Chains A and B, each alone.
Chain A
Amino acid sequence: MAGNPSPPDSGDPNPLTAAIGRLRRDPSLLVPYLAVGFLFAVLDWVRRRDPLPALEFESLGANNGISVTVEFVGYPTGVPQTSVLLESFVGLRLGYLAWGIVSYVLPLLAVAGAGAYVLDRAIGVDRRSETDSWVGSITPLFGFVLAMDLLQRLLGSIELLQSLLFGLLALVIYFFVLIRLFAVPGLLVAGYAPGEALRVSNRLTHGRGWRLFGVVLVLGLAAWLLASVPAPVVGTVLSTALVAPVHAVAIAVVLRPLEQHRGR
């Protein structure tokens, strides 16, 4: 399935406002991510009690309130209050290792499942058959989510990138790449092969960089602010249930030229 989209024209809608409008008309698209938010909250509760190391979310008040985080990772998701540390899996007893892997994979799988459903509906994918449902797109989307998560962990493990100079340079490149990959989750759900999805996303986002940078910034800051709500469960659920659907539908908005092109 290949596309050759036209460059965006001046009537190109703002992905954020268009996404919010669509969600107002169809609030049922919030439900899958609401469920993911509650799953995150349950996992937070368990992780804070199990004997495995976990990292706590750095909220608004952390570091004397001077640290600002853009919680944008390249696919629609929320912000749990805890995260597993893969390095700490080394040497775990088998049962705890199994739980650690479940604790790591389960939220990514849930995000992929919710993403596949919401993107499928938001894009309005034309399925060839009843059996060819959105469920089939969970696997490629999960692969993307997992790859992005591991890539970000790998980047964070490179000491050089933690320095100010190289860190800033890396951050610029990182955002550039994230913007170019903005449409990939939607393309995977639409049935594109991974390599093709990367190429088409690159073309689709060409010429929309600054606008998408704004989208990334707004989504990332909104997720961080909502996750910082100082009440148990609320921050995690809000950041997931509100920001992730907007992100997913915004991807669908970015894909519209492609759909129009295919429709011609």
Chain B
Amino acid sequence: MPSRRRVLAGGGLGLAGVVGSVRFVERPIPLDHEVESAIDWPMPRYDPAGTGANPDATGPREDPTIRWERDLRDLQGPMPAPPTLYGDAVFVVGRSSLYALEREDGRIRFERTGYSYLSSPTVASADAYRSPTLAVRGNEGVLGLSASGGYALAGRGIGLERWYGPGEEPPTRTFANPVPPSPVAADGTVYAALPDLDRLVAVDASSGRLEWSYEPDLVWPGEPNRPAVRDGTVYATFRPDVVAAIDAGTGDVHWEIELEPAEPEDEHDYRELVAPTATEAGLVVPSRRAVSLLDPADGSRIWEYEHGGRVTDGSVAVADGTVFAPDGRDDLHAIDLETGQEVWTTEYGLDAHPVVAGDVIYLTYSWLDDLIAVDVENGERLWEREIGAGPSQPIVGDGVLYFAGHEGVTALEDGGDGGDGEGGE
């Protein structure tokens, strides 16, 4: 009856996995989400809105020490994708594998081989399953993986991959560093920008079934950035200058606009939009030389902050009414979310994805080896630390900052006894 590849995949062995009666099987490891004081960072940029800020999280405020380091052979920088923090586990994707580490000490919970995992994992609730789905971008689609890791039998994962969507997975295998954009998850649905197809798709986190797909009608198809989801609306930006608001449930397009260039008289001037952030005040849309706030009702511009930089990557963080935007050339800008006025600027001339935890902004740049902490109040640099080349953007939990680097994952915490923690494998 079933005769095609993905039906076949894992068939007989999969049944053995379901029964769980095969010897020498690595079993799934249930997630404990009741960990005391566990603070999650379930997707890159923290939440569906893409704020990059968790008001409940705290990271190191003073020069940190290493809590743990874990060498992972499959992580090869630069530009590793950031880890994901959920329950008692830290998840990270390598060139051909998925790792789950113990949040407390970095021990490997499981390592599963897989192919074409091309982004960071995003935790998505999946009603039909006992553990969440980890959504990763694959070739021309999204893969839904088990956060418990499924079984492993003689090195072969069984039950790790729950689904691929939309459609059938292409036979191509890609060995590559995972990179943005990562999927976004909200209310059991995964929203993924697919650069291969210049398209945004929504798939069910349990079944992988396509709920809707969106391509802009305007201009030529451009590469989509990570979408932002808030209050039942998905906000998408496509390079060079398309912004759209789409109903998260139905896929109906509320509005779609081209953001006019900063210098309209220059026919070669484009916005070069990067990933947006959805806030209570409106949609924050960073672009090469400016940050704009758009009205979520119709996409009209509320304010625009011209920093004159040259942003080609990166994103903004939004916390407590302030937008933190690197300009990619000179400075990191703090902008009042309501008025669009400058609050402060501080020297930081790199494209980055700032994250905010408590009253600290953390910054890394994928081609350099610095991790920098900045005070949210005044932009004062609190500390900086050399962490090895090619770090991911950081994520922050309860007092601990995590990042993936060239050869593994590191957890930093506020310096106490001055020890440099436990070494990796």
Chain A contacts of B12 at CB under 8 A?
86, 150-151, 153-154, 157
Contact check, A87 vs B159: say whether CB atoms are below 8 A apart.
yes
Q: Which residue in B8, B14, B144, B167 is a CB contact (below 8 Å) of A90?
A: B14
User: For residues 189 through 220 of chain A, which have their beta carbon under 8 Å from a beta carbon of chain B?
Assistant: none
Chain A contacts of B240 at CB under 8 A?
none
Contact check, A80 vs B128: say whether CB atoms are below 8 A apart.
no
Contact check, A157 vs B8: say whether CB atoms are below 8 A apart.
yes
Chain B contacts of A12 at CB under 8 A?
none
For residue A44, CB closer than 8 A to chain B, the reply is: no
Q: Which residue in B5, B9, B158, B207 is a CB contact (below 8 Å) of A52?
A: B207
Contact check, A85 vs B146: say whether CB atoms are below 8 A apart.
no
Contact check, A96 vs B128: say whether CB atoms are below 8 A apart.
yes
Q: Which residue in B5, B128, B131 is a CB contact (below 8 Å) of A51?
A: B128
Chain B contacts of A154 at CB under 8 A?
8, 11-13
Shortest distance from the beta carbon of A175 to any chain B beta carbon, whole Å: 12
Q: What residue in chain A is nearest B171 (Cβ atoms)?
A: A162
For residue B328, CB closer than 8 A to chain A, the reply is: no
In the assembly, what is the distance between CA of A155 and CA of B12, in Å?
9
Chain A contacts of B6 at CB under 8 A?
55, 85
Contact check, B15 vs A150: say whether CB atoms are below 8 A apart.
yes
Chain B contacts of A52 at CB under 8 A?
128, 206-207
Contact check, B4 vs A88: say whether CB atoms are below 8 A apart.
no
Chain A contacts of B129 at CB under 8 A?
91-93, 96
Q: A91-B28, A91-B148 are in contact. Are A86 and B130 (CB under 8 A)?
A: no
Contact check, A153 vs B4: say whether CB atoms are below 8 A apart.
no
In the assembly, what is the distance between CA of A50 and CA of B13, in Å?
24
Most buried by B among A50, A83, A87: A87
In the assembly, what is the distance between CA of A108 and CA of B11, in Å?
15
Interface residue SS majority, chain A: mixed
Shortest distance from the beta carbon of A59 to any chain B beta carbon, whole Å: 11
For residue B313, CB closer than 8 A to chain A, the reply is: no
In the assembly, what is the distance between CA of A120 and CA of B161, in Å?
42
Contact check, B1 vs A90: say whether CB atoms are below 8 A apart.
no
In the assembly, what is the distance between CA of A236 and CA of B47, in Å?
42
Q: Which residue in A69, A77, A80, A90 is a CB contact (below 8 Å) of B18?
A: A90
Shortest distance from the beta carbon of B123 to any chain A beta carbon, whole Å: 14
Chain A contacts of B14 at CB under 8 A?
85-90, 153, 157
In the assembly, what is the distance between CA of A54 and CA of B126, in Å?
15
Q: Which residue in B1, B10, B171 is a CB contact (below 8 Å) of A157?
A: B10
For residue A156, CB closer than 8 A to chain B, the reply is: yes
Contact check, A50 vs B8: say whether CB atoms are below 8 A apart.
no
Give the interface of A toward B (CB within 8 A): 48, 50-56, 58, 62, 69, 71, 73, 77, 79-80, 83-93, 96-97, 107-108, 111, 149-157, 162
Across chains A and B, which 9 residue pairs bring their CB atoms closest together, nearest first? A156-B8, A153-B11, A90-B159, A87-B10, A154-B12, A51-B206, A87-B14, A53-B163, A83-B2
Instruction: Identify 15 residue pairs between A and B in the complex whose beta-carbon atoms are under 8 Å apart, listed by A's number.
Output: A51-B126, A51-B128, A55-B4, A55-B6, A77-B1, A85-B7, A85-B163, A87-B10, A91-B150, A91-B159, A93-B128, A108-B1, A149-B11, A157-B10, A157-B11
